[in-house]
């Protein structure tokens, strides 16, 4: 590990993080992380400080290979967060139940390693509309981690979202696709039809992680 890039790559892999994980924490593109690891470019001073925080090492270690780095087990534990597993009805009214969910004694909590806000929550997927034979499939019974702090709706284009449609009391999970003036909630299962939505649709949050139990 004689270069900055080799140390960044080593530490990232040691912590079982992807280039996308690092990029999201630092605030750069995944391709920028690739360039750093290939020693094509060098992180700026600001990025270096963020890298040191994310990789739990000193800036000196990243730059010169000197200084300490924390044990991986300590890092992974620090990145884990517990979020409440709620119902699809609660998800539809999430802004109204945020203050209640932390005090509920019967709440089940799910551990996530995703980078999410404090108001995030988990849902258990029901039905087959998101089951697919493609690269991405969210089968019945899987757990999704949802972050309600996603910015503008255009920023969620092409991502898996949780939304409330047509005044329903329950939320639904679909892929958001924006085509010009038209907005669609797309199932991953081709046996289900897309849903054309309008301004009455409430976008609850964006899915940040999918947890599938292979029992």
pLDDT at position 9 is 92
pLDDT at position 68 is 64
The closest alpha carbon to 91, from 207, 199, 198, belongs to: 207
pLDDT digits (tens, 9 = 90+) for 177-206: 999 999 999 999 999 999 999 888 889 999
Number of other CB atoms surrounding residue 1 within 10 Å: 12
pLDDT at position 74 is 41
- Measured CA to CA in angstroms, residue 11 lies from 16, 57, 153 at distances of 9, 9, 35
Q: Is the pLDDT of residue 159 over 90?
A: yes
Pairing of the two strands 172-179 and 182-186: antiparallel
Residue tagged 């530490």 (tokens): 11
Q: Of 76 and 15, which is predicted with more confidence?
A: 15
Q: Which ranges of 18-81 would DSSP assign to H, the alpha helix?
A: 19-26, 30-37, 45-54, 59-64, 72-79
Beta strands in 52-159 (DSSP E): 81-85, 108-112, 121-124, 143-147
Mean pLDDT score across all residues of the chain: 84
pLDDT at position 184 is 96
The pTM of the whole model exceeds 0.85: no
pLDDT digits (tens, 9 = 90+) for 62-116: 888 877 676 554 444 445 678 889 999 888 877 665 545 555 456 788 888 788 8
Q: Is the pLDDT of residue 117 over 50?
A: yes
On whether the CB atoms of residues 175 and 186 are closer than 8 A, the answer is yes
């Amino acid at each position: 590990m004689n270069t900055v890039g080799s140390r960044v790559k080593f530490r990232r892999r040691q912590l079982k993080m992807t280039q996308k994980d690092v990029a999201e924490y630092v605030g750069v593109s995944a391709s920028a992380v690739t360039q750093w690891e290939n020693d094509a470019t060098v992180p700026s001073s600001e990025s270096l400080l963020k890298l040191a925080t994310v990789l739990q090492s000193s800036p000196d270690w990243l730059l010169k290979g000197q200084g300490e780095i924390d044990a991986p087990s300590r890092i992974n534990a620090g990145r884990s967060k517990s979020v409440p597993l709620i119902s699809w009805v609660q998800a539809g009214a999430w802004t109204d139940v945020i203050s209640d969910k932390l005090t509920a004694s019967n709440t089940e909590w799910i551990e996530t390693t995703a980078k999410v806000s404090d108001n995030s929550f988990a849902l258990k997927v029901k039905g087959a509309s998101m089951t697919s034979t493609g690269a991405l499939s969210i089968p019945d019974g899987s757990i999704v981690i949802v972050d309600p702090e996603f910015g503008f709706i255009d920023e969620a284009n092409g991502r898996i979202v949780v939304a409330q449609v047509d005044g329903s009391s329950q939320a639904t999970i679909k892929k958001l696709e924006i085509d010009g003036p038209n907005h669609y909630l797309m199932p991953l299962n081709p046996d289900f039809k897309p849903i054309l939505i309008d301004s009455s649709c409430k976008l609850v949050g964006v899915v940040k992680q999918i947890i599938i139990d292979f029992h």
